[in-house]
Structure 1
Amino acid sequence: MTTITAEVNKKQKKVPVRGMMDNVMEQFNSAADQINLHPNIRKILSITNNEIIVHFPVKMDNGEVEIFTGYRVQHNNALGPYKGGLRYHPTVDIDAARALAMWMTWKTSLAGLPYGGGKGGIQLDPSKYSQGELERITRRFTFALADNIGPEHDIPAPDVNTNSQTMAWIADTYMSTRPPAERTANQHVVTGKPDGSGGLEGRDRATGYGVFLNIKFWAEKNNESLFDKKYIVQGFGNVGYWASYFMEKEGAKLVAVQDAFGSIENQNGINVEDLFNYSLSNNGSIVDFPEASALKSENFFATDCQICIPAALGNQITAKNADSIKAQLIAEGANGPTNVEGEKILLDRGVSIIPDILCNSGGVVGSYFEWLQNRNGELWLLDEVMAKLDKKMRESFNKVYEYSEREGMDLRTAAYCIAIKRIEKAYIQRGIFP
């Protein structure tokens, strides 16, 4: 672990720089100690099953060829096929893919789904490529992954900078590589597809809705109302927008937003739909939104509020800024937004944290519904999907909250203990192939 010099405060001048893999392993080992996880199973879960790295050429619009690097890490499939998103971002590398794949294993297990965990993507900035180039990159990446994905083996989904269109390209490319008689039977190789291409109604909002539901459930447990509660959101993409949309419907007040371009604040409240429409017309940026003032990005987490929803990237809340957070609740819409040091500070201050593997699991639950819909040849209506999602998320939240109260531990450790115990049980019952 490396160390950089940073001015945090007068007493602390050095902040350890941790990768996501460091965080996920410390979280895993802490929970494993709590449940006395069998040493052999700890060894298995500490490593990934498969790590696929592919380099592939793609012809650009100008006729030049560019080489891309893609990743797919398959952590564990003791409970079912690998499941997890594909992201297009400059930070994608093997270490990040490993950590995210492990988180997916815990997330699917906690939700009680018949899935394992996988993750991956391509190291690129999609804003630098045309729509045609992104399509060719996606199709070539799918072809390069070859037999490493499949509807009963490894099922990708959207993640950072990927969407339903990306999934449609992957599904079409994958099905084109199958024998004619098998093509339509492989539609569920990915989830998060467009409605007209085998997608699930409501899948676009499932993750954000799940974040909102977890906040609502937490408030109910603490005999609080969300009405007039101030909240801030980091990341105003799919997750941040839909979480904000449902929070506003409940009467909560959005007072600050941060995206990759900057931060804005209005303590009187920011209209979610107005901001969303503005960002669409402003190349996806919230900067210069006329109904809010500019906010220094380094001061974003210090904004006066009751609820903070980090819904961008990992390692955003750290020892450097945890002390300045005024929120009483952190609802992790992103994967790994709070690192271990930052979490310790927050917990010591009495701040509650709804962990990522619980808080943002609405997406993978929605993906499971889509997978079932495709396998069974069914079509579910939006109201039916949302009701199923509400029920599933409530079951998961109650399970974690009650375990936390009973065992006297924080919500993250409780969620990990439940998730790991389910996988341990599967290994104990099935045994290890010699």
Structure 2
Amino acid sequence: MTNTQTLEKPQAAKRGMLDNVLEQFNSAADKIDLNPNVRKILSITNTEIIIHFPVRMDNGNVEIFTGYRVQHNNALGPYKGGLRYHPTVDIDAARALAMWMTWKTSLAGLPYGGAKGGIQIDPSKYSKGELERITRRFTYALGENIGPEHDIPAPDVNTNDQTMAWIADTYMSTKSTSERSKNQHVVTGKPVGSGGLEGRDRATGYGVFLTIKFWAEKNNQSLNGKTFIVQGFGNVGYWAAHFLENEGAKMVGVQDAFGSLQNQEGIAVEDLFNYGKANSGSIVGFPEAEAMNGKEFFGLECDICIPAALGNQITKENANSIKATLIAEGANGPTDVEGEKILLDRGVTIIPDIMCNSGGVIGSYFEWLQNRNGELWQLDEILEKLEKKLRSTYKKVTAYSEEKGIDMRTAAFAIAIERIEKAYVLRGIFP
């Protein structure tokens, strides 16, 4: 049930994600002279939930799993953020990702706050039946800590629409018969036949593509003939590559958890995708590309680099080797602070994650509205709404960046934080 292929990261890099997001936050807060009381509030999380729960395995043995849900801030609305199943999930990772979600939803102008969580698990080691029981038991243990007007999970690394269907069914089963239908929007990213939004599967990747398209338009460039590399060929990486290829761009490198490939003549996106489906999700052995050393992946000759795996993939160790002039962050926190400084000094443009990959949470918002209002939206309408919203955000961020003479990430953070600050200033702080 793997949704996004990812790369393993060591403990030290994983812990660094929290340091990165706090440094990014404080840098932007300094730029806008953030109200010191609001800074204190936004520097920490509201709620942190750690759950240890037992699940019976197929062989009859019981295993104990650890699950997390961190709710960072809800000044603008219900908490919103994904659930990931990965060995690197821990409390610091959840804190960092929850904070990024707060800035992401605020920047997009959505009525949401930020949350994140998941289970510390390698899902490839468990059967589908075991994963269903693990998911349902985790949902039951979370109880009223999630809810359609309180905290709304979504798919993330190694979770998908099936995972969300299990969560929704389990949560609704805890409600009275008359209340069940009112709780379908407890999660987003559900299957289309079970309250899901048509096109939600491609929303994040489509958003990554759109921000690249907007960058090209602003710089009077064509995507036709551009070369790009993608790290992570799961849901996000595949759809971003799909839409770029449709514009005439050429994928010359791809990396997933199993291996790395290159071909300067081009790698056909659909051919690779179909090959992966037939080989347990792995790109290894694809005949139309050459295997390469994974440590040299970011040094491939290309115009555009799309990191769409885990956090802290671009660091001071590899930033100088990057040939791309544009980095579009499909993953959350793929570039650490030190790596970013090197890239900016070299004149590389970075489309920050909280804008670049926000198509997913925007699509989730559309699904939430669809469920809430009892509506059904068509795919062309959804993609049109998504492009309109992302174009507006892109224009705001680039205008702010140019006006203040700051990089796009700091501009995006500043806009997001100012919106939350305004909410606190207007409402006051209880009591």
Range of TM-score over shorter length: over 0.9
- Of 151, 156, 159 in structure 2, the residue corresponding to residue 159 of structure 1 is 156
Determine helix, strand or coil for the equivalent of 1:19. helix
| Residues 1:209 and 2:187 are matched in the alignment | no
Q: What's the counterpart of residue 394 of structure 2?
A: 397
- Deviation track 1:353-372 (CA, whole Å, cap 9, x = no partner) reads 00000000000000000000
Partner SS, residue 430 of structure 2? coil
Give the corresponding residue for 2:250.
253
Structure-1 residue corresponding to 2:61: 64
> In structure 2, how many angstroms separate the alpha carbons of the residues matched to 1:69 and 1:169?
18
Match of residue 196, structure 1, among 193, 197, 201: 193
Match of 2:321 among 316, 319, 324: 324
Task: Tell whether 2:126 aligns with 1:129.
Answer: yes
Amino acid at match of 1:171: A
Decide which of 40, 43, 52 is 1:43's aligned counterpart. Answer: 40
- CA–CA distance in 2 between the matches of 1:395 and 1:288? 42
3-state SS, counterpart of residue 312 of structure 2? coil
What SS class does the counterpart of residue 153 from structure 2 fall into?
strand
How many pairs were matched up? Answer: 420
1:178 aligns with 2:152: no
Cα 1:18/1:57, change in 2 over 3 Å: closer
Cross-structure match for 1:368: 365
- Residues 288-327 of structure 1 correspond to what in structure 2 (within 5 A)? 288-327=285-324
Distance 2:14 2:102 in 1: 25
Cα RMSD, aligned residues only: 0.9
Equivalent in 255, 269, 272 of residue 272 of structure 1: 269
| From 92, 110, 113, the counterpart of 1:116 | 113
C-alpha distance in 1 between matches for 2:322 and 2:304: 10
Return the alpha-carbon distance in structure 2 between the equivalents of residues 233 and 128 of structure 1. Answer: 26
Alignment-derived partner of residue 7 in structure 1: none
Aligned 8 A contact 2:80 2:151 in 1: yes
Q: Which residue of 2 aligns with 1:98?
A: 95
CA distance in structure 2 between the aligned counterparts of 1:226 and 1:196, rounded to whole angstroms: 35
Q: Which residue of 2 aligns with 1:19?
A: 16
In structure 2, list runs of 5 or more residues that go unmatched: 1-11
Change (3 A) 1:18 1:348: farther
Question: Counterpart of 2:422?
Answer: 425
Q: Secondary structure at the match of 1:270?
A: coil
Partners of 2:351 and 2:299 lie apart in 1 by 19
1:84 equivalent among 65, 81, 86: 81
| Structure 1: segments with no counterpart, 5+ residues | 1-14
Corresponding residue to 2:137 among 133, 140, 164: 140
- TM-aligned CA deviation for residue 17 of structure 1: 8.7
Tell me the distance in 1 between the aligned counterparts of 2:286 and 2:340.
Answer: 32
Q: 1:180 to 1:17 in 2, by over 3 A?
A: closer
SS at structure 1 position matched to 2:225 = coil
How far apart are 1:19 and its partner, in Å?
A: 1.0
Amino acid corresponding to residue 354 of structure 2 in structure 1: I
Per the alignment, residue 7 of structure 2 pairs with none
Q: Pick from 231, 241, 248 the counterpart of residue 244 of structure 1.
A: 241
Q: Per-residue displacement from partner, 1:234-269 (whole Å, max 9, x unpaired)?
A: 000000000000000000000000000110000000
Query: 2-side partners of 1:171 and 1:395: how far apart?
Result: 32
How far is 1:180 from its partner?
1.2
Return the alpha-carbon distance in structure 1 between the equivalents of residues 307 and 56 of structure 2. Answer: 36
Query: In structure 1, what is the Cα distance between the partners aligned to 2:177 and 2:52?
Result: 28
SS at match of 1:183: helix
Alpha-carbon distance between aligned partners in 1 of 2:176 and 2:241, rounded to the nearest angstrom: 44
Secondary structure of the residue aligned to 1:75 is strand
The letter for the 1-side match of 2:100 is: W
Structure 1 residue ranges (4+ consecutive) displaced by more than 2 angstroms after TM superposition: 15-18
Deviation at 1:16, TM superposition (A): 9.1
Q: After superposition, where does 1:399-414 map in structure 2 within 5 Å? A: 399-414=396-411
Deviation at residue 18 of structure 1 after TM alignment: 5.9
The alignment partner of 1:298 has SS state of helix
Cα distance in 2 for residues equivalent to 1:82 and 1:315: 24
1:378 aligned residue (375, 380, 393): 375
SS at match of 1:84: strand
Secondary structure of residue in 1 paired with 2:152: strand
For residue 271 of structure 1, what is the amino acid of its counterpart? A
Higher relative contact order (CA 8 A, sep 6+): 2
User: Which residue does 1:231 correspond to in 2?
Assistant: 228
Distance 1:247 1:42 in 2: 39
Deviations 1:214-244 (A, max 9, x none): 0000011111111010000000000000000
In structure 2, C-alpha distance between the alignment counterparts of 1:91 and 1:17, rounded to whole Å: 7
Structure 2 counterpart SS, 1:43: helix
Separation in structure 2 between the aligned mates of residue 45 and residue 70 of structure 1, nearest angstrom: 24
**1:339 to 2:317 alignment:** no
Shift of 1:179: 1.3
Is the contact made by 2:154 and 2:188 (CA closer than 8 Å) also made in structure 1? yes
CA distance in 2, matches of 1:236, 1:122: 22
Rate the CA distance shift 1:245–1:226 in 2: closer, same or farther, 3 A.
same
